[in-house]
Structure 1
Amino acid sequence: MHPQSSSQERRPSAPMTRRLPAQLLPPFQPDPAFEQLLTRTNAYCYSVDYQTGRFRYVSPGIHRLLGYDRAAWQMGGPQAAFEHVHPDDRSCVTDIYAEMNRELLRHSMEDRAELNFVFTCRVRAQPGHYLHLSHHLTFPNIDRYGKPLADFALVSDITSLRVPQVCQLEVHKGPATDPATRKTLLFARHGAVTFSKREIEILRLVAEGVESHEIARRLFISYHTVCTHRKNLLHKAGVKGPVELVGYGRLVGLV
């Protein structure tokens, strides 16, 4: 799943999609038992060669999850796959890939292969509806300059979890299951979504069940200001009420 530039938006492709000096990669040889397991789950894997801009591998699970023919999906390549991303999420995915590239550059060459990235976006399935998918991405092949030569991604369906349908990027140094290593960024159509210190304070008080009048008293601000912050929180999180907002806060590690 890779962004491409648009002649209308004139957005550059993410840095990781640029062609790199040719370097022979080892053949991709998936474990047959792992492939068989994926055919029975709502998940699939892929690997992209950044030197050629083409898929090195797409697992059979692509048909079960999205309804697309494996060979056709692999032949179409990452740019064709990007066209299946929800139109509202495409600029977000472009920004996410750019942020992953920046995150790689923030770490030493030795640490880059240990980074794990998890991002979410909506992708159109064969029947025409959209699924909310999670992409767990690593970069096992790094060249001597520290640039990624290829990635490996595990894609799973999180639609049934009913989490807010915003594009989100988590960065982990080490296992993605360790919350202590997690950094979370949210993306809207015009870039990363950030919460102010005051908004996070109010979100945490809402999670404790504190009413708006009491929040205003504790923080020495007006009731109207609290209501404005709460409205902004709902808008940024893409949710409709306090229960969903608190659930979202827990999901992204803010509460």
Structure 2
Amino acid sequence: MHSPMSMPQVPVSASPKPASAQFDRLVRQWQSRPYAAGPDAFDFHEWLHNDPVLRLFLTQSPCLTWVLDMRTLQYDFISQNVEEMLGYEAEAFQKGGVAFTMSLLHPDDFPKLTALMQRLWDYLLAQPASALATYQLSGDYRIRKADGGYIRLLEQNSILQVDRNGQITHLLGMGSDITSWKKDHNLFASVHSTELNKCLQCTSEDPQLKECQQLSVREREIVELMSHGHNSKQIADRLSISFHTVNTHRQKMLEKTHTRNSGGLIQFAIRHGII
């Protein structure tokens, strides 16, 4: 276990692209937190590496899964299916940590993503320690595969562990390939807590962190059915409500989420873990 004073530094300069001052600031922010000394309350590295059934389950999932130690910015675990999705062995990420991941970002997305990440973390680290475990962070970006092509990845992180000093030590992350349904290059990022009914979002086109309204239970049901290809009449029949009521809910959801159409609304719901 590394104490905060002996913590290894992320080799940002090892990235093939010029080091971003914004990313350097994020690294300093993450690694200079007053982490508690001594052993963790739970050893995720040992747990995940000693459970072959769990590793197999995560590897067979359509999503990437990882556990990130925020003190070292190294992956305690990353699922083996990363090779199928990106073409790199899991060991490359475990050896290179966050610096390796950031080196694979599309050069146009790198500065935009780090700026959005900074806004999310500035907000998150200002929250009471007792509330941190309820928050999730989401964002999307283009990442380079081993064959030189790019896919768009939706990254969703939950706070996995907070130490006795109230500092975030581990994130549980999931990555989904959303290339087929997101074609624009506007990056999206959000921080939200369903338990606390809080949601803030920003984009590379509008980087100011703004509140987003939560969807009601009925609205969640409707957007879930929309994501499966059901039209308004089919949704109305399924939920035993009127066609007009469905369309009214759809319009209100577009207004709440600041999205332009049904596709954007479904993207919003996926990014926020609603569906």
TM range (shorter): 0.5 to 0.7
Q: Which residue of 1 aligns with 2:87?
A: 67
CA gap 1:59/1:194 in 2 versus in 1, 3 angstroms? closer
Task: Say whether the 8 Å CA contact 1:187–1:193 is kept in structure 2.
Answer: no
Give the Cα separation in 1 of the matches to 2:11 and 2:116. Answer: 9
Equivalent position amino acid for 1:101 in 2: W
Give the Cα separation in 1 of the matches to 2:117 and 2:11. Answer: 8
Query: How many residue pairs end up in the alignment?
Result: 200
Structure 1 stretches of 5 or more lacking a match? Answer: 196-236, 238-243
RMSD, matched Cα: 3.2
Give the Cα separation in 1 of the matches to 2:57 and 2:81. Answer: 9
Task: Say whether the 8 Å CA contact 1:16–1:50 is kept in structure 2.
Answer: no
Q: Which residue of 2 aligns with 1:209?
A: none
Deviation at 1:121, TM superposition (A): 0.7
Deviation at 1:59, TM superposition (A): 1.2
CA gap 1:3/1:98 in 2 versus in 1, 3 angstroms? farther
- Aligned ranges 1:69-108 → 2 under 5 Å: 69-108=89-128
Q: Would you say 1:135 and 2:155 are equivalent positions?
A: yes
Deviation at 1:23, TM superposition (A): 4.3
Listed one character per residue, the Cα deviations across residues 206-242 of structure 1 (whole Å, up to 9, x for unaligned) are xxxxxxxxxxxxxxxxxxxxxxxxxxxxxxx9xxxxx
* TM-score relative to the length of structure 1: 0.66
* TM-score relative to the length of structure 2: 0.62
Structure 2 stretches of 5 or more lacking a match? Answer: 1-9, 211-257, 270-275
Task: Say whether the 8 Å CA contact 2:201–2:209 is kept in structure 1.
Answer: no
Give the Cα separation in 2 of the matches to 1:157 and 1:3. Answer: 27
Listed one character per residue, the Cα deviations across residues 51-96 of structure 1 (whole Å, up to 9, x for unaligned) are 2232211111211111111112211221122100111111122123
Deviation at 1:113, TM superposition (A): 0.8
Q: Which residue of 2 aligns with 1:146?
A: 166
- Aligned ranges 1:194-233 → 2 under 5 Å: none
Q: Which residue of 1 aligns with 2:43?
A: 27
Give the Cα separation in 2 of the matches to 1:68 and 1:7. Answer: 22
Q: Would you say 1:182 and 2:199 are equivalent positions?
A: yes
Equivalent position amino acid for 2:161 in 1: N
Give the Cα separation in 2 of the matches to 1:61 and 1:16. Answer: 31
Q: Which residue of 2 aligns with 1:192?
A: 207
Of residues 238, 256, 261, the one that matches 1:246 is 261
Of residues 165, 181, 199, the one that matches 1:161 is 181
Equivalent position amino acid for 1:18 in 2: Q
Q: Which residue of 1 aligns with 2:21?
A: 10
Q: Which residue of 1 aligns with 2:215?
A: none
